[in-house]
Chain A
Amino acid sequence: MTWENSAITIATLLPIAGALVIALVPRDAEKAVRALGIVFTGAAMVIAIAIAIDFDYSAGAGLQFELDTAWIPAISARYHVGIDGISLPLYVLTFVLSFLCAVYTWRFVPEPGKTKAFLGLMLLLETGMAGTFIAFDLILFFIFWELVLVPMYFLIGIWGSANREYAAIKFFLYTLFGSIFMLLGFLAMFFSSDIGGAHSFDIVALQGFAAGGGFSDTFQLVVFGAVGLGFAVKVPMWPFHTWLPDAHTEAPTIGSVLLAGVMLKMGTYGFVRIALPLLPYGAEKYAPWIGLLAAIAIVYAALACLAQKDLKRLIAFSSVGHMGFVMLGIATLTSIGINAAIFGMVAHGLITGMLFFCVGSLYDRYHTREIAQIGGGLMQKLPYLGGVFAFVAIASLGLPGLAGFWGEVMALLSSFSPAESLSTPLFRAFMIAGGIGTILTAGYFLWMLQRVNMGTLPEKWKGEAFPDILAVEWVSWTPLLVGIVALGVFPSLLTEVTQEPVDALIGLFGF
């Protein structure tokens, strides 16, 4: 076991080890527990960044830091992990966001306390999320995919707000329902595969098999439907999105940050890593439908946001819209489109993660999320918080110069000229819908800022002594704010990483 092949395993499993250590700490040692949370997430993040530094960017298409050993011979599942240019940004994002959440927890643990359980579940969640991005065996992927369900269920159900039980069980059942079809699809692919005379769950091997025309057309249509359904529920694509507003709204702050920041990306990543490469014919046939649903999602989500009275629910719906842009990029089956999708994933992770942090802090002070109750004048009362909130909201609506712009514009650009086998007029119609969606997005964000940030401060808040942004908040937010600007001004930071592997992917299938 060298650094080369064990690094990503160590980084991925370190949080679980941290959870076990935290379980042993006595309940009263609050500070120690929170410190351990920061230590373990920080250590994992350091390893992840070291991997990012050590990564050979000129060879982004192939798997690096690879490890392929036997795991469950009874079902031919292997422990195959690795990282390439598509996985790397999301992998690093997971650890960075988790670390910042642990830092945030130093000061803020939601009702009813129980810091040990809170951090333990968050660490378990981190392992599940990180593992999904590095797994290259379908069963291993599935295990990590399902691993996130239980901690998130408990995070929402115990530490959430008023309607938490309903939101938690809805999230669990809905996502589980999607993933069982995904499992069926995986098993079907396993039994249809013939790699050196045997079946295989290995994603790399199956990719080669599929490229050689191994799966029949009808098979691909059926299995893409099954697997796509599982991913679609996670993204979430319209009309499978109804679990998301409740889950996001009721979850505690860091639950929402991780859910929106990383967990949604698992679904879109699944499309890019598994559904497209392993089922290319299916991808071609379903692409117009995915594009249609994505276009609907963009417009629908924007309209829904305009109607929202609850600040957190508004941001939750905005996630549906942003994921619509990501899925539109994927649906075009072009290099620009998939690059746009990955860029959009990372940008959304930074921006919406930041938005939920802001709303969480707002709620911590005002104890309400209703826009009407907040009333306005945030810029007067808490100028720094108002300023940061405005900055992130504007980043989210896609202002050029900030991270959100590139994901959206590249998705629309790719929709202008989709892959050769797809209908250009259809996708240009989607592009127009996307454009309308962008206008509506700007509309609802600016209207929200007007109602929350500007105007007169209501009487009832005038006397309250709310602290402006605290030190711990600055520490946990600054990396995200810097990242939003950095990616906005230097998009090549990300596109250079993803360009090669995406080109290789598209080239493999000649869409």
Chain B
Amino acid sequence: MNQAIDSTAILPELILSGTLLLVLLADAFLSPNRKWLAMPLAFLGVVAALVATLTLIGEDRTTFGGAFVVDEFAILFKIFFLSVALVVLMVSFRYFREGRFYQGEYYFLLLTSFLGCLIMPSSRDLLMLFIALELVSAPGFLIAAFRKSDPRSNEAGMKFFLIGVLSTAVMLYGMSLMYGVTGSLNLSQIGAALTAPLEQGKETLALAAILFVVVGFAFKVSAVPFQFWAPDTYEGAPVPVAAFLATASKAAGFAGLLQLMFVAFPAQYEFWTPIFAVLSILTMTIGNFVALQQRQVVRLLAYSSIAQAGYMLLPFALVSADPIVNQDAFAAAVTYILIYSVMTLGAFAVVIAMARESRGLLITDFAGLSRRAPVIAIAMTVFMISLAGIPPTGGFWAKFFIFQVAIERGGIGTALAVVMLVNSVVSLYYYLAVPKQMLFVEAAQERPVLAPALVSIVAVLATVVVLAVGVWPELLAHFPPLSTLVGG
């Protein structure tokens, strides 16, 4: 049957779709040395979409038959994703202009992926979630392999693609099972159907379906033991793409997980909280301990983001019958995602600034950077300290909110908090490896490092935000509790 589509609700997506098509079209008509104009065009489009999203604040709209919802949760994540898009565009500009890449196509694919990111937090329907997830991933497969002449880049794209479609297949299987059990694709209706007691066979099927869907998303957020694609993909892909994968792509996965676990499957928490506890512990621990071995900066950041995903999975394991704990856990997870993204984007921005120094950047290539490029050296030090969770940086508060909820929950929460704390101490060792090189070791050469202007701006801005949140966490922490999906 025909329903009217609420075009105000999908205005940001419409604007972004228009932009990406315009970018592709413009690229066809631009002369080879003007191809870089695709970036400012994309930038303007994203800004327009951001403005459109800001006008939606306070609204509560539903469209596409209840599959697409615009509420505080969706708006918070849309603003977040569009801001990340601006940053990724800024750090990509010089890198892709000078690296002999197809620029127009790159920006087109990047924006398509961000379109998927925009749709994800609004998807309250299994099919819509699938579409959003595919829209985030598929361009990702391509842009990971964008350095066509580099075999590692091809490997990155291929690995990402194979594991990506495998995980999607598993997830889709789970989704179809869930449809079979509940008779609905809509998340709220599934939630209602699962609250009522099911007959034995259906109960097992529902739990199996939940397991498959969780596994599908676990691949996306690079949880152990589904993380094998991540280090190679981050290492082989162009560094701005790695930055995108580590932040936006991961956050999109978490946005999907948050909606699934808190809207569709909250009644089955006794089944899936232990699964998340195991995932969280494995991911934190293995991510951290393997990171200790890394000599290459991008791989280090890849394992670091795997371990950080472990911290972000922890709040899921804390869900219980107590709605206050659930709300706090939800808010803690969202806050962590926000702060983590700022820190990681900053760290990748510094790596991009250094990327022209050598391919396959080693930690030792950062030696003496405090003398050669003091501003980005200090920025990187702040990001590394923040990722380790030391005050007075934002990263400390991100971890603190999770500790607080874990202790509030008690029981398994206390055990998980101890594991997370020990992991934080261990992680400090490898996070300090880069500042150690920058500050303690003499430079091999005195030539100053010239970072592209936009990249330096991103690094400085991110440093300011990290320190500001470190001193006054209300800056970011105020918003997630307002955007909760936890039912009263």
Q: Please list the residues of chain A having a beta carbon within 8 angstroms of any beta carbon in chain B.
A: 72-75, 142-143, 146-147, 149-150, 153-154, 157-158, 164-165, 169, 172-173, 176-177, 180-181, 183-184, 187-188, 190-191
Contact = CB atoms under 8 A, between A and B. Distances in A.
Contact of A183 (B403, B422, B477): B403
Most buried by B among A147, A164, A165, A183: A183
A191 B391 contact: no
Contacts of B417: 184, 187
Interface of B: 385, 390-392, 396, 400-401, 403-404, 407-408, 410, 414, 417-418, 421-422, 424-425, 428-429, 432, 436, 439-440, 472-474, 477-478, 481
A149 B385 CA distance: 11
Contact of B421 (A153, A184, A190): A184
A322 B436 CA distance: 33
Contacts of B473: 72, 74-75
A150 B428 CA distance: 11
Contact of A165 (B404, B414, B440): B440
Contact of A149 (B390, B436, B440, B477): B390
Given A157-B440, A184-B407, A75 B424 contact: no
A73 B414 CA distance: 23
A-B pairs, top 6 by smallest CB distance, nearest first, are A180-B421, A187-B407, A74-B477, A146-B391, A143-B391, A177-B425
A172 B428 CA distance: 9
A150 B390 contact: yes
30 contacts: A72-B473, A72-B474, A72-B477, A73-B474, A74-B474, A75-B400, A75-B401, A75-B404, A75-B477, A143-B391, A146-B390, A146-B396, A147-B391, A149-B390, A150-B390, A157-B436, A158-B439, A158-B440, A165-B436, A169-B429, A173-B425, A173-B428, A177-B422, A177-B425, A180-B421, A180-B422, A180-B424, A180-B425, A184-B403, A184-B417
Contacts of B391: 142-143, 146-147
Contacts of B407: 184, 187-188, 190-191
A187 B440 contact: no
Given A74-B477, A176-B425, A183-B403, 18 more contacts: A72-B473, A73-B474, A74-B473, A74-B481, A75-B400, A146-B390, A146-B391, A147-B391, A164-B440, A173-B429, A176-B428, A180-B421, A180-B425, A183-B400, A184-B403, A184-B421, A188-B407, A191-B407
Nearest to A142: B391
A135 to B, nearest CB: 13
Nearest to A174: B425
B199 to A, nearest CB: 40
Contacts of B436: 157, 165, 169
Nearest to B371: A114
A187 B481 contact: no
A167 B402 CA distance: 31
Nearest to A172: B428
Contacts of B424: 180
A73 to B, nearest CB: 7
B385 A150 contact: yes
A465 B169 CA distance: 81
Contact of A184 (B418, B440, B478, B481): B418
Contact of B392 (A143, A153, A164, A165): A143
Contacts of A75: 400-401, 404, 473, 477
Nearest to A187: B407
Contacts of A158: 439-440
A142 B481 CA distance: 24
B421 A183 contact: yes
A1 B169 CA distance: 63
B13 to A, nearest CB: 31
Contacts of A165: 436, 440
B120 to A, nearest CB: 26
Contacts of B400: 75, 183
B403 A187 contact: yes
A191 B403 contact: no
A177 B477 CA distance: 26
A191 B440 contact: no
A74 B428 CA distance: 26
A359 to B, nearest CB: 23
Nearest to B424: A180
Nearest to B440: A157
Contacts of A146: 390-392, 396
Contacts of A150: 385, 390
A158 B439 CA distance: 7
Contacts of B410: 191
Given A176-B428, A180-B422, A187-B404, A157 B392 contact: no
Nearest to B473: A72
Contacts of B404: 75, 187, 190
A75 B392 CA distance: 16
B153 to A, nearest CB: 35
Contacts of A153: 432
Contacts of A169: 429, 432, 436
Contacts of B429: 169, 173
A149 B428 CA distance: 12
A173 B428 CA distance: 7
Given A75-B401, A165-B436, A147 B392 contact: yes
Most buried by A among B385, B392, B429: B392
A172 B474 CA distance: 28
Contacts of B432: 153, 169, 172
A474 B156 CA distance: 65
Nearest to A114: B370
A399 to B, nearest CB: 41
A172 B388 CA distance: 12
A188 B414 CA distance: 9
Contacts of A187: 403-404, 407, 417
Nearest to A181: B421
A126 to B, nearest CB: 15
Nearest to A143: B391
A188 B439 CA distance: 38
Contacts of A190: 404, 407
Contacts of B425: 173, 176-177, 180
A180 B403 CA distance: 10
A190 B407 CA distance: 10
A143 B472 CA distance: 12
A215 to B, nearest CB: 15
Nearest to B388: A176
A169 B437 CA distance: 13
A73 B475 CA distance: 11
Nearest to B478: A74
B200 to A, nearest CB: 39
A248 B128 CA distance: 60
A146 B401 CA distance: 17
Contacts of A157: 436, 439-440
Most buried by B among A73, A142, A143, A181: A143
B304 to A, nearest CB: 17
Contacts of B408: 191
A179 to B, nearest CB: 9
A72 B440 CA distance: 35
A181 to B, nearest CB: 8
A191 B417 CA distance: 14
A146 B424 CA distance: 14
B391 to A, nearest CB: 4
B345 to A, nearest CB: 22
A173 B422 CA distance: 10
A177 B474 CA distance: 27
Nearest to A146: B391
A497 B141 CA distance: 70
A189 to B, nearest CB: 10
A74 B331 CA distance: 10
Contacts of B396: 146
B330 to A, nearest CB: 13
A74 B407 CA distance: 16
A183 B414 CA distance: 12
Nearest to A159: B440
